[in-house]
Amino acid sequence: LRDALREALVELGGVVNGVGPLAPHVLNVSFLGRRGPELVAALDLEGIAVSSGSACSAGTAAPSPVVTAMVGRERAGSAVRLSLGDGFAPEDVPRVVAAFSRVLDR
């Protein structure tokens, strides 16, 4: 499911943050020219819960220090993190992608 979501978000202009083997339940994607916190708020209104920071820095609007070290401040500032839990199902992929598409079109 993570791979299907990753491929669809890349088609929308996203850039995956991370190389090599990635955790099967987490996806971090940047949308250059956008601000992560603004994407988080817009996606929240669409019913999609994402984060713009790392799990260990919840509650801050600052980009993840780890992502910043990996890809630089600009790309980290446009990143969102998606965590796919046990309840995430195949039918959720198109719903999430459609929400991203609507938000990115604004």
- Enzyme catalytic residues: 56
| 25 three-state secondary structure | coil
Write the DSSP assignment of 48-91 as a string of letters: ---BSS-GGGTT--SPPHHHHHHH-HHHHHTEEEEE--TT--TT
**Token representation of residue 61:** 């609007």
